[in-house]
Amino acid sequence: MSMDRVYNFAPGPSMLPLEVLERAQKELLCYGSTGMSVMEMSHRSKMYLEIFNKTVADLREVMNVPENYKIMFVQGGATAMFSAVAMNLMDGGKADYVDSGNFAHNALEEAKKYGEVVVAGSSREDHYTHIPAYTLSADAKYVHITTNNTIYGTRWDHIPQTGDVPLVADMSSNILSEVYDVSKFGVIYAGAQKNVAPAGVVILIVREDLMGHELPITPKVMNFKKMADADSMLNTPNCFGIYLAGLNFEWIKAQGGVKTLEKINIEKANLLYDFLDNSQLFKGTACARDRSRMNVTFVTGSADLDAQFVKEAAAQGLVNLKGHRIVGGMRASIYNAMPIEGVRALVSFMKDFETHNK
Ligand SMILES: *Cc1c(COP(=O)(O)O)cnc(C)c1O
């Protein structure tokens, strides 16, 4: 690592690739020959539209998004999408939600305001340590899942078969970390601050036939059809955040694409889980089958020792390892931007800590 940068294991906002930051730094004061920063450009200007259109095209390429899907960059976080999905798709019917974590639960609670929510499966009683079994309704307007559960460190190891019922996925914490077949989904959304860009941008991918069925109360900026028709510019978009997302997509391409990153992400996660499985002190908290490759949750069994670990790790430049406030313990978020050296450094520190605190 250059300068005095640390290995930042934060869950989001989180680490960005150093190359992306350096490129942004280089272009910060003067982008190309424009004589201005991207922050200062009109979103309608030719130069900005070039950046925007390239960003959309690069995302289409790295995720292999079919032509009959619109790619949008919207605002309000993934949280706004909890409402937007229901307002655009519920259409007077009901929807199946799989309750696999805190965000999944928030999504279904929000959707209840706009239609009938069926909880198709839930692991809430088990503190969300696994992806629940589920039963889908044949007549649902859509099925909603959360592909990676950021707080509890679990991941769906399969894509549910929903037949003609559109599948909606909150991919906030694992988008672009593994290959997904976009054609299996009706809607994909993701807050950018976990694996793509700074906070304030949401990636929204919607199959065209699912647009235009929104409830009349749907705000304009949450209306999939209107936002798609306006090319994400019904209002002023997060221009600089979208530009940074674009730099990240270019970085992904330079790494060899999502497929290559997926391989590295599996290797990174295995390093940590193999250590946890053999440790006398640390213990992983997620059920082995459903373990996340992005958020690795673990404990020592003692809250005091957990706190000591987080503190001593930070002193070694391994920061933000404290677990989410509602679960405690530790969580190492190892998104695309976390180099494997960071994970090695963490495992090595954990070994040391174990030796001294067994
Ligand atoms: C972080 C996160 C959210 C919330 O995102 P905001 O952008 O803060 O609204 C929703 N879902 C998942 C899976 C997340 O990880």
Task: Note the residue count of the chain.
Answer: 358
Please answer whether residues 236 and 43 qualify as being in contact, where contact means their C-beta atoms are separated by less than 8 angstroms.
Answer: yes
- What is the whole-number distance in angstroms between the Cα of residue 170 and the centre of ligand 1? 8
Mean pLDDT of 203-214: 98
Find out whether 307 and 321 touch, Cβ atoms under 8 Å. no
Contacts with 241 (C-beta within 8 Å, 6 or more apart), sequence order: 73, 192, 197, 198, 199, 200, 201
Beta strand 202-207 with 187-191 is antiparallel
Strand partners, 146: 170
pLDDT value at residue 2: 52
pLDDT of 336 strictly over 80: yes
Give the global pTM.
Answer: 0.98
Answer whether 196's CB lies under 8 Å from 16's CB.
Answer: no
Any bridge partners for residue 94, and if so which?
Answer: 116
State yes or no: pLDDT of 1 exceeds 90.
Answer: no
Ligand 1 contacts CB of residue 12 (under 6 A):
yes
What DSSP string describes 102-163?
HHHHHHHHHHTTTSEEEEEEE-GGGTT-SPPP----TT-SEEEEESEETTTTEE-SS----T
Tell me which DSSP letter residue 29 carries. Answer: S
Q: In the structure encoding, which two tokens stand for residue 17, read together?
A: 């690739």
Point out the ligand 1 atom lying closest to the alpha carbon of residue 173. 15
Provide the H-helix boundaries in the chain: 18-27, 46-63, 77-89, 102-111, 224-229, 239-255, 258-278, 303-315, 340-357
Q: What is the CA radius of gyration of the chain?
A: 21
- pLDDT, mean over the chain: 97
- Does 144 contact ligand 1 (Cβ within 6 A)? no
Ligand 1 pocket mutation, candidates 79, 105, 187, 324, criterion most atoms within 8 A of CB? 79
Average pLDDT rounded to a whole number, residues 292-306? 97
102 in contact with ligand 1, CB cutoff 6 A: no
State pLDDT tens for residues 4-15.
899 999 999 999
Q: What is the mean pLDDT of residues 24-37?
A: 97
Main-chain dihedrals φ then ψ at residue 230, nearest 5 degrees? -90, 10
pLDDT of residue 153: 98
pLDDT tens sequence across 217-276: 999 999 999 999 999 999 999 999 999 999 999 999 999 999 999 999 999 999 999 999
Higher pLDDT, 358 or 65: 65
pLDDT of 192 > 50? The answer is yes
Å from CA of 238 to ligand 1 middle: 17
Q: Which amino acid, 142?
A: Y
Q: How far is the CA of 78 from the centre of ligand 1 (A)?
A: 5
DSSP letter assigned to residue 322: B
Q: Is the peptide bond before 13 cis (omega within 30 degrees of 0)?
A: yes
Distance 75 CA to ligand 1 centre (A): 12
Residue 94's φ and ψ, nearest 5 degrees, are -130, 165
- What is the predicted pLDDT for the residue at 358? 80
Task: Please say whether the beta carbons of 251 and 17 come within 8 A.
Answer: yes
33 CB-near residues (< 8 Å, 6+ apart)? none
